[in-house]
Amino acid sequence: MYDWPDAKSLLSPWKIAATTIQMQVNVKQLGRALRQVSMAEAASMNLNKLSSILLRHIKTADEAYYVSEMVRGADFNVASKVRIPDNVGL
């Protein structure tokens, strides 16, 4: 039987900070890709997938705040293309 890691290790400030940094880097890369004609279509599809995954799992105000912190610094190209899925109760 698999032993799940201690919840404290999953919610450590270091893990949360690392996830936030990784998300910010990904969002910035998507912004750059959206500005390049040759990469814009794939970047748009990836952004739709990312926003769908993130927004479908938000259940509380705290989760929404955390996601907003993760994508802080997104440029206009990214922010203007985020598509909110139909089944999200925002």
User: Model-level pTM?
Assistant: 0.70
Task: Find, among 29, 11, 5, the residue nearest to 66 by Cα.
Answer: 11
The helix/strand/coil state of 71 is coil
How many CA within 13 A on the CB side of residue 63? 8
pLDDT confidence of residue 39:
93
pLDDT digits (tens, 9 = 90+) for 4-34: 455 455 557 778 888 888 888 888 999 999 9
Handedness of CA 18, 49, 76, 90 (dihedral sign): negative
Enclosing H/E stretch for 34: helix 13-35
